[in-house]
Structures are given as C-alpha cells and as structure tokens.
Structure 1
Amino acid sequence: MKKIITSVLVCLLMTSWSSAKVILPSFFANGMVLQQQSQVNFWGKSSNPSKTLSISTSWDKKKYEVTVDAEGKWKTKLATPKAGGPYTITINDGNNFQLREIWIGEVWLVSGQSNMEMPVQGFKDQPVLNSSEIFKNATNKNIHVFRTIKEAKGIAVDNMRGNWQVADSAAIRLFSAVGYLFAVELQQKLKVPVGIIQSAWGGTNISSWMSAETFKDFEKENRYKLKHPDSVIKTDRNAPTALFNGMINPLVGYGIRGVLWYQGEHNHREPDFYAKVFPVMIKDWRTRWGIGDFPFYYVQLAPNESVKDGEQISLSALFREMQYNTQFAVPNTAMSVTLDAGEQKVIHPANKPAVAKRLAAIALNQTYGFKEIAYAGPSYKSFTVKGNQLTLSFDNAEKGLKAFTTPSVNFELAGTDKVFHPAKAQIKGNTVILQSDQVKKPIAARYGFKMWVMGDLYNTEGLPASSFRTDDWFAPSYGKK
C-alpha cells in the first residue's frame, strides 16, 4: 500500500513539475536586444510549486537562482557583457525553457504620436522621403525592432503585445521611420546590435502618456479629466494616463539606453500646460526605470499651416520656444530642430531622414562621446543695436553662419510700437545684421516666429537654427531662455 501511495505521489509530483510553465512578457523573446554592460531587469511568472527557478546566460555561463513569490511572479537582474551575440538564456523551473538569438547592444525606446508612429511606408497620400531607397538598403541584421500593439487601458497593466523582428524590408514597412533610421545611423557608427522599441500612437496628447500619480496634480488645468475605473478596460487613447497604462507601464524596467520622443501636435495650443507637465513626465519615467537620468531626446514641433493658432502671437511658435527652452532646464535632454523640415499643408512631413539623422547626431555626441560630430544648430545668444541696425550673435556657429536662401526671408524687426516688419539680413561671421526701412529704431527681432515657416539659417555644419525672439512680449508663464 505504501508503495502505491509513494508511486502516486511521485507521479503527481512529476505531473506538477512537467506542467510548470514560465510566462514572459512579450518583449523577452527570441531575437531581443538587451542593453550592453548593464544590470538589466528580467522578469516573468511561473507556476513552479517549489517557488524557485534558475536562469543561465550563455555569454558568461552564469547561473541565477530566483525566488518565485506567492503570486507566481519573479524578477532578477542579469549582468550583460559588451555588445555581441547571438546568445541564449535558459530558464529552468522543472522544465528547461530557452530563449535564442539574444543580442547584446544598444536599446532605445521611441514614443509619441503620429509623427513617431509614421512608418517607413508612410501614411495614405503622405510618403516618407526616399522610402524606396530605405527599403532597398534594409539588409542590416544587426538592427532589431519591436513594435507594440496600440492599447489604451483604464489602469496600469503589466503585459502588452508585440514581437521582435530583424529589421528587413518587410519588418520596417509598418515600423517607425524615425526610429528605424535612427537605429541605422547608430549601428553604422557604433558597429553593435541596436534594438528599437516603438510605443507610439497618432493623435494623442501628452496627458495620455503620463502616469496617474503625476497627472493628478495637473488635472484641474487640463481639458481631459482623469477617470478612476475599477478594472482593466479598454478606453479612449486620449483619456489621461491611458497610454502610459497600456503601452509604457509594461515596459518599465526593460534595459534601455534612452528615449526618443516625438509628440506635441495635439498640444500645440497649450505651451504653458506642456511646459509644466513635460519635465514632470520625463522625471517620472526616469524614476520608474531606476537607471538615473537616462538620455531623453525629442523632436521639435514642425512648422505647419493650421487654421487654429494664436491671435496676437502664434501659439505654434510659442510651443516651439517652450520645447527649445526645455532642453536647458531638464538634464540630459536635447531637441532635434525641424524648422526647415515641415510641410505647409501636411501635419506629417516627409523628411523623416533629417529628423532621424539629427537625433542620431545628438545621441552620438552627447551619449556616446563622439564630440567631433556636430549636433546643435545656431543658438541665439544676444543682440546689440546701433542706429537703425540690430545685430544678433549666436552660439554653435564658431565657423560661421549660412543662409539656405540668400538673403534669409525669415527675420523681422520691431520698434517701440511692437509691430514687426520684414528685415533684410546680412550674415557676418557668427552674427546677423538686420535692417528694415519700416523700423528706424529697432528694439526687438524675431526669426521664423510664425505658425508656418521654412527655416533657412544654418551653421556651417549644416544644422538649422530654431525659431526664436529677442522680446518677451506676450510672454507665457514658462518664460524665456
């Protein structure tokens, strides 16, 4: 009888162990890229009745013993080496479960609204510049992409849908053009595997991408109100916190080098509000990831003709000004200028290669230490007045300035009446001398400070200046640099 009981128990135990199941988030999968030379988080769930499991990494033959909590959850940190691969990760909770084709390299998260989501194949009647060449050259197996499925949630969830793919012409067809082209620039320079995680959704406001804990402090001054559902439900993509809940929270903790952000069109008439919440959102994301002030690089709102803008002054121009100033107020941030890369009648400009190249230049200089790579265009410094001329001085123009159109058509001058008139611009070294027959005693200047403009001022490295003004008339609360 004892033998029978023992046999039954052994059978039950073997059955229990054989049915043990490891469940991993979708981004821990074959073909993934892990951040190099880091302690990367690695987590999941298990039905292991012994409440422990082991994880082995092939790159260093190291074995990790991990405790499974009462809810079946487990989490550990894996030490990653210098870039390389492919490797394997083996998980044993009674049965061996192995992840293959694991690469170690550089990982970036790209997020925002439609201009970040805009795929290499473009949108209907809105192409991406040189897309046929991009597809033809998509042969680099060292670039892997992960595109999250768009899901808005009422409360924060732990899981999301998506899969890793080698960035061939088929995989990038629906993948972020900016994200993919940024990866191309990085991989060519760094010569390591690059992983890009896309979590973006068109037509969304910044409130959707904020956590409930951060948004609640700004709810009264925002047109969107926070709801408090009792369960995880699908909700509107513009409901406050909905996209953080469904498309950012599941990713929190995944090892990344930094974030690229391309959002603002939906909030372009709210520069004051955005100036308050944008730094808070960045700080919150960084706090949750727990890896310090990781790089957070973002794209300027591209000029576009809109029927809804400011009356006394362009709200779009104020928004661009706010974005420009943010990079000096928030550590380890920088902006890719797009004043010359917009389209008058199209909200999704085609020149995504320029945006990606400029973001990559920022990352290569600021994150990876290639100081010989220029990453910033001319930056307004100060002005002087002599007679009827106003002279502007610039930083980031040590080798001089250049106007794409000669002379530039985007400068204006104003006198004490605060009425701006077109000004003739003469470039001299790293200065621009302005004069207008309609302004005898100038006291203020502006460059490209309009809703629609095609930027035409560059430094000799070919990087554009952002729109700017020397005055503080109609000054919003966020102030000026």
Structure 2
Amino acid sequence: MMPKIVLQPLLLFLLFFVTLCADAMVKLPALFSNNMVLQRQTNAAIWGTATAGKTVTVQTSWNKKTYWAKADAGGNWSLKVSTPGYGGPFSISVAEENTIKLENVLIGDVWLCSGQSNMEMPLAGWGKVMNYQQEIAAANYPAIRLLQALHVTSNTPAKDLAVRNNGWDICTPQTIAEFSAAAYFFAREIYEKTKIPVGLIHSSWGGTIAEAWTSFETLQTLPDFAAAAKKVRTTPELDKASYDEQMKQWGQKKNQADKGLVSGKPVWAAMDLDTSGWQTMQLPGLWENKGYPDLDGVVWFRKKVTIPGSWNDKDLALSLSTIDDDDITYFNGVQVGATIGYDHDRVYKVPASLAKKGDNYITVRVMDNGGGGGLYGDAKQMFLGTTAGQQIDLSGNWIYKISFTFKDLPPAPESPQNPDRPGVLYNAMIHPITRFAIKGVIWYQGESNAGRAGQYRELFPALIEDWRKRFPSGDFPFYFVQLANYRKRASLPAASDWAELREAQLMTTRLPHTGMATIIDIGAADDIHPKNKQEVGRRLALIALNKVYGQKNEYSGPVYQSQQISGGAVTLSFTHAKGMSAKDGSLKGFALAGSDKKFYWADATIKGNTVVVRSASVKAPVAVRYAWADNPEANLVNNDGLPASPFRTDSWDGVTKGKK
C-alpha cells in the first residue's frame, strides 16, 4: 500500500508560485519567431501577453531603441516599433519577468498569400509543379522567409494563428517543397528584381469558398450570407466526440448504400465479377470532365493487367498518381491500400503472393466528397512495376460503375472543421494576422464560387474591402489570379459559369490598388491545378513590380475598353495593347451576336490597338465575346506575350444569375 502524501504549506505555496509565474511570463503569438520578417518603413505592431499590470520592454537592434508597454487587466499588451528601409539580420528582445529574443529577423516586405487549392498547391507533394525537382533543389533564398498557416476553422475570431514548425522558416530546399508554389515564385521574382527581403504568410485551404474567408461583420451587410453567417457565429463549437459518433452513424448509411459492398465485403473487387454492365473511361482525369459534372459519391474503377512470367515471386509497386478524394484499392480482390485526402500520392505495395502470371485485376473504390472526383494527375505516375524498374502503363481505358451519389443519402453531419461555412476561415486563419503590418495580398481563388459567379461580383470586392479595413496597412495592394482555362473545349459558343466568374474577377479590378494576372493560356482541360505555377507567380510579380516597386515593366495583357459598331463590323479598343498580335496563327476565340443573342464564331483582325470583328452569320452585330468558355481557344497577346483577359461587350443575363 502506498503511503499517504501530505503537502506542507510551504511546498503548496511554491507550487502555486511557480504555476503563477509560468502563466504570467511574457508570451508572443506565432507570428513572432526567429527568422521572421517585419514590414519595412512602417510602425509595425508587436503584441502578446504578460503579467497583468506589468511593463513589457522591447528592444530592437536595428535602431538600438527601447519601447515599453503595460499589460492590461487581461494580461494583453501591444506596442509599435519603427522599421527602416530593409535589411538584416536583426534581433528583437522582449522582456518582462522572462526574456524572449528573436534572432535572424529581416526587415522587408510581407505578403499575405491566400485562397484555395491553386494557391495552396505545393511545389512537391500532391502539386508536383513543372520541373518541381529542379525548382526545389535551387530554392536557396535566405532572404525569403515562409510562415505556413495550418488548416483550422473557428466560429468566432481566434487570437492566434496555428502554424507549422512553430514559426517562420528560411526558404531552403527542405522548407519550400510543401509550401505554396505560386507564392514562392512570386516572392522569388520580387526578390531577384529588387533584393528586398520578402516574407510570405501563406494561409489558404483547397476547395474553399470566398465567403469562408470574409468576416462576420461584412457578411452581415450581404443579404445572401447574413443568415448563414449569424448561424455560424451563434452555434457552439461541436465537440469531436459528438461529431465522431454522428459521422459513424452516417458512415454506416454510406456503406449500406454502396452496392459494391455487401456486409462489408468488396464484391465489386472480386476476380470473377460480371462487368458486362460497366462503362469505359479514359484515365487519368476527373470524372467532372468525363460526363459527370455534378457527381459526388462513390465510383468503382477496374482494370485488367497481364503480368509476365518473369515477374513471378516479386513484390510489385502499384502507383495510381493522385485520387480525389479517398480510395480503397484492391488487387485480385484483396485490399492493398487506402488513403483519405486528395493531396496524397497513391503508391501501394502488391505482395508477390497476390500477383500471378497472366491476367490480374486492379479495382479502386473512389469516394469524392465534393468538387473534382476521380483518378487524375500525371499519366506517367500510373503504373504497376517491379523494383527493377519494369513497368506496365495503367493510363488509358478503365471500366467503371457508379455505386451511389450523396444525393441518395440524408445530409452528412456538419463537421466542426468544415471550412465551407461563412466566416470560419477568416476567424481562424486571417483575423489573427490583421494586426500585423503587411505590404499586400496575393489571392488565387474562385473555382469553388464559379457556380455562383453573379454573386461573386459583390462578394469578392466586399472581401477585399473587408480585409483592408482590418489591417493597419489600410488600402494595401490586392493582386489576384483570374481562373485558368479548364474542362473540355466547346465546339460552339456557349454559356459558361467559369467565364462569368472570370468576368466578376475582371470587374473587381475597378477597386483601387488591385491587379489581375490573366492565365487563360496556361491551364489544362483535365487538370484544375495548372502545373506552370512559375508563370502564375511571375505574372503576379509583374503587377507588384510595376505598381509597388516602381519598375516600368508591362504587367497586363490587353484589356477590353470599348466597342464601335459600323455596318457589319465591330471595332474593339484595348488598354495594354502595345504590339498586339495573334500567338500561333490567326486570331481565335471571338464570337459575334445580333439582337437575337445567338453567338457565332467570328473572324478577327488586328489594326493597331484595335481588333475588328466580323461574321458572315451576323449581318447586324450587337455584341462580341472573347474567350467566353470554360476552356477557350484564345490567342490575343500584347508585345510582352501577356494574354488578353476574356471579356464580353454585352450585359445579358448569364447562367449564374440568381444562383445562391
């Protein structure tokens, strides 16, 4: 039997004192760490917590100054320090009862980088940008610093930002691989042209909607979002245990709905399965581009492969590139792997005991929870192979069968971490930054709002103005990426929600100190994530170099300004039109309509800073559209090779009008 322990009064006092001191020590938010960047030529805020009523002392090495602040009754304190032109490394000392010393601090420009998956897309990992291995190996930029926000939601504004590695990283091949590619290439271009240190705060989340990044207060001014935002604000955070139990019950309903599973057994993975009713799909590719634009649910894919006898008694590697979102993979009816999440490579081991000479069957159960779905990515990464490098190409025809869609089920329990709720990402991933001095914002988002593009005309400018109200930098630069070309190319002029979203983005450039990088020429029909993030970052940087850093470079492709109709021709005027030309042959992508609103492909010719458009099918033209499609064939560029933004001269109702 253990003896009874009695704590003496003195010992109790000492324990209480130590605990009190630990709680009262000066502390800093995650934004302040070694290797950080402070915004140059400003009064930059520094804040934290300390003992209530105590004075906190901050010393900065660049000007040898000392600053003081008194902690309030809640222990909160803040002050501002004056920052010079740029340079470093410097140090900052923060002291009360304890001392925190921040080392290797640079003074430069801080850019907040936000949006959805095309901003989040890393150089390596699920992103694998163009030439990613060489780009990572060359990423030695000690004057570029990285702060990576973690995915977190909150129903109310959070005080601190959750970040990887507890703070800022120096840009090296080791730290850049899983960081935003677009943000890195933007910073690299800025630094190489100016030699000013760059700090990147990357706070984005793939697949998310713009209203999730907007504050509750601003959403209350937008009728389409006010009620939903209020519900979020007034709903208590659901505890994980309750949510897990609700999800368990819903998961049972999913399994019951899956025709490929019987009592948990994967009957659609059986080797002797009758697949006469299955259809054929070319892979890799998202099924949204294969005839199923609104399918969220479960699809089973299957492929027969013939293994040579020389592979007997060898373990094999099954590589399926990338799957959106979740998969369970079977080989000859036996599970060999399962992964949750679109942002993971799928490489599974097939033990020698499963593989046999002759016909073998690979079956993949794919669950898509929203957005894109299917086996997509690099065709070269779809193979069955040996460790000796022998491979069987798995790209091409697979058979498939839809098991069920989520429309067949009751709504899923709402996750307390669901990012697609109004305001929750602003609360957790933007609000904690708003006291920090920044130079500006780069933004790449819109895909998830394309179905409500008409609504985005109001929402996106509101988001920009919202953030500008909350940061001390005020009316800071806000530069964004227009959606790339994507999906199957249309043979005839047609309506397009992506075209309408691009138009909403173009209209947002009417706000002061905004800029838009057009990338209608570097997308891909079967990949929503363009691999050429180098050019995305460069085009964003061109805007900043001109507008922020005073360089005289061109930063935009031709932008439609006005039209004049004379006889059967329409003459279009443009800004940023110097040296306009058709890249690769004659001009393409122009369509003409009369008062009947029916569009026909048109002939277009360049005359100086104008384009003249005609069509034999339209005798009395009224309106012109250019690159008005999901994936248009468009080739109008200026002297700097920058593409013209898609546009239309009419204001007729679009397919997203009234969509909420």
Shared fold per TM-score greater than 0.5? yes
Q: Read off the aligned partner of 1:204 and give its amino acid letter.
A: T
The equivalent of 1:108 in structure 2 is 111
Q: Which residue of 1 aligns with 2:298?
A: none
In structure 2, give the amino acid aligned to 1:389. A
Displacement of 1:219 after TM fit?
Answer: 5.3
Matched, 1:401 2:407: no
* Residues in 2 aligned to 1:71 and 1:84: alpha-carbon distance in whole angstroms: 35
1:291 to 468, 473, 486: 473
Percent identity, aligned pairs only, is 40
Report if the CA contact (8 A) 2:26-2:97 is conserved. Answer: no
1:14-413 paired onto structure 2 within 5 Å:
20-46=24-50, 48=51, 51-121=54-124, 123=126, 127-162=128-163, 163-218=167-222, 220=224, 226-227=231-232, 228-230=234-236, 234-305=416-487, 313-328=495-510, 330-370=511-551, 372-397=552-577, 399-413=578-592
Native 8 Å contact 1:109 1:256 kept in 2: yes
For 1:425, the aligned partner's letter is A
Q: Residue 424 of structure 1 is aligned with which of 603, 620, 634? A: 603
Displacement of 1:291: 2.3
CA gap 1:477/1:306 in 2 versus in 1, 3 angstroms = closer
Count matched residues: 461
Q: Is the 8 A contact 2:153 2:425 kept in 1?
A: yes
**TM superposition shift of 1:424:** 1.8
Contact 2:452-2:656 within 8 A present in 1 as well: no
- List gaps (5 residues or longer) in structure 2: 1-12, 240-415
Deviations 1:8-33 (CA, angstroms, capped at 9, x unpaired):
x99x9999778852211111000000
SS at match of 2:221: helix
Segment drifting more, 50-59 vs 102-111: 50-59
SS in 2 for 1:218: coil
Q: CA 1:438 to 1:223, structure 2 compared with 1: closer, same or farther past 3 Å?
A: farther
Equivalent position amino acid for 1:473 in 2: W
Q: Distance in 2 between matches of 1:249 and 1:433?
A: 48
2:155 partner letter: G
SS in structure 1 opposite 2:103?
Answer: strand
Q: Any conservation in 1 of the 2:53–2:72 contact (CA below 8 Å)? A: no
- Structure 2 distance, partners of 1:18, 1:204, is 39
The one-letter code matched in structure 2 to 1:426 is T
Larger radius of gyration: 2
1:254, distance to aligned residue in structure 2 (A): 0.9
The match for 2:324 is none
Give the CA RMSD over aligned residues.
Answer: 2.6
In the alignment, the residues of structure 1 paired with residue 420 and residue 456 of structure 2 have an alpha-carbon distance, to the nearest angstrom, of 15
Match for 1:202: what amino acid? Answer: G
Q: Deviations over 1:56-81 (max 9, x none)?
A: 11111111111011111111111111
For 1:400 and 1:374, how far apart are their aligned partners in 2? Answer: 12
Distance 1:313 1:15 in 2: 65
Query: What's the TM-score, normalizing by structure 1?
Result: 0.90
Residue 477 of structure 1: how far off its partner (Å): 10
SS at 2:516 equivalent: strand
Structure 1 gap segments, 5+ residues each: 1-8
Distance (whole Å) between structure 2 residues aligned to residue 239 and residue 393 of structure 1 = 42
Q: Shift in Å at residue 50 of structure 1?
A: 5.4
Contact 1:298 1:336 in 2 (8 A): yes
Q: In the TM superposition, what is the alpha-carbon distance from 1:218 to its structure 2 partner?
A: 2.8
Tell me which protein shows more strand as a share of its residues.
2
CA distance in 1, matches of 2:226, 2:629: 25
Distance 2:103 2:36 in 1: 9
Question: Is the CA contact (8 Å cut-off) linking 1:109 and 1:196 kept in structure 2?
Answer: yes
Segment drifting more, 411-420 vs 373-382? 411-420
Q: In 2, distance between residues paired with 1:214 and 1:318?
A: 23
Quote how far apart the aligned CAs of 1:224 are.
5.3
Q: Do the aligned residues in 2 keep the contact of 1:392 with 1:432 (CA within 8 Å)?
A: yes
Taking the aligned partners of 2:640 and 2:522, their CA distance within structure 1 comes to 17
